[in-house]
Structures are given as C-alpha cells and as structure tokens.
Amino acid sequence: MQSEELAVEASPNLWVKMQSIALAVVAIMLSLGQWNDTKDAVEVIYESVITNFTNELEYEQLEQIKVGQTHDYLQSFMGVAQASKPSKIDPAVNFFYYGQDKYLLTVAVKAERVVGYSIVALTDSFSAAVPYTELSLLDTPMNSQDTEFERYFTDFGNLDYYAESHTLGRNAMFYNLLLATVDYGQMAQPAKQAIQSLNHQLNMGSDVQAEALQPLRQQVPNTFALSEIAPEIMAEALLTQFEFTAFFR
C-alpha cells in the first residue's frame, strides 16, 4: 500500500515542477519583451511533457496518415523518412521508414501515392488504435478481429514474426489489414517458441493445422498494416533485425 501511495503522489509533484519551470520561462521571456520566443518556449515544454508521459501527440500525428494520400502531402506533416528500399514483389512500390523511440512507421508508395502503411509498437505502452476495427496494438488479441483471416506469413531467423491478413468490408474500402506480432527485441519467449515451431513445421513440409496457429492468434499484435496492395507486399516491407539495427539503433 505504501508503494502505491508514493506512485500516486509522484505524478502531481512532477506536473507542479514542470508548471513551475514553464512559468519561470514565461516570466523571464516576458521581462525581456520576447513574446514570440515565450510562446515557442512554452509550446516546446508542453510538447516535451506530453511526449514523455503520454502518446497522444504521436497518436494524433499517425491518425493523419491515410491510404490514397500523395507522398508529398504525407511528408508535409511526417517529414522525410530516414530510410527506404524497393519492393522485390512489385518494383514500382517503394517503402519509406520512419523510426521513433516509440514506434516504427513504414509507408508504401507507388506512383507518388500512399498505397499502404504499417505501424510497429516499440514500447509496451504504445497502444495505437487499428483503423476500421475495435482493436488496439498490445491490447486486443488477433483472434478478436471480426473478419476471418485469409492467409498468414511468418519467418524465423532474419526476423521472427507471425502475421495474418484480413480483407475489410465496404465501409473500409475493402482494404487489406495485416495484424502481426514482430520481434524487434521485446517478444515474449512463448510467442517466439511458437513462431519457431511453426517455421520448423513449414520447413519440414508438414501440413500445418489451424489448431497449431491458435497460440499465435491469441497473441496481442504489436503491428498492423493497412493497404490497398497485396498483404504479402506489406509483409515484405518488414525490416529484418539487421536492417532495423543498422537504420535505427
């Protein structure tokens, strides 16, 4: 009980300190007659606090991304990607990667148009909502999705992951939805073992029964992809462990 009380008290104290800092900055800048600089300073402090202790700014920014946008428009609010590579399945598609501490964003572009994107949660608290569904990353199991999954994709070695594709309905433009659990260093051991077992069966040429997928379908996804292009292309867009480390670690 004592530790719970301390945890509850820590947050108000932190906010009081941050408010004091903000007020001090405002007072100093106002005394110097620098109102524009004061506004900028307060905005920086506010955004820093919100970003460090919540995910709201990131959620709001990512919710602006839509399939069908021009690449130029997306760059106007997301900036320039840190890395890119072409698709081997469809060479007309290029993948652009935005790495942040909390998430990895991949944008698929064809003819200067956004044809798909994916978000990988990189922290335990980044529960971004999955568009057109009732699901959230790191919160709702894959088998909670109300459409039947059609195909699955998996690998073990270059990148440990399991992904399954769904076709969404008319209200969602019949987009393809990919739900996945992907290991960039945070996957729980039972899920990793289930992926390893599944890939071993596939490599041995065994028929994989639906029951064998249940341990993986019960996992909460840390990744989703929404696209109008084939789901295998969005699965191909996943960076290998080596690529992820080279670009973003």
Tens of pLDDT, residue by residue over 91-123, are 999 999 999 999 999 999 999 999 999 999 999
Q: Which amino acid is at 158?
A: N
pLDDT score of 201 more than 70: yes
Give the global pTM. Answer: 0.81
A 10 A CB-CB count for 92 gives 11
Distances from the Cα of 47 to the Cαs of 53, 58, 65, 116, in angstroms? 10, 11, 20, 28
Mean pLDDT of 148-174: 96
Strands (E), the chain: 83-86, 93-99, 103-110, 113-121, 151-155, 161-167, 176-182, 223-227
The tens digit of pLDDT for each residue in 65-96 reads: 999 999 999 999 999 999 999 999 999 999 99
**Host H or E run for residue 45:** helix 35-53
A 10 A CB-CB count for 155 gives 18
Mean pLDDT of 141-156: 95
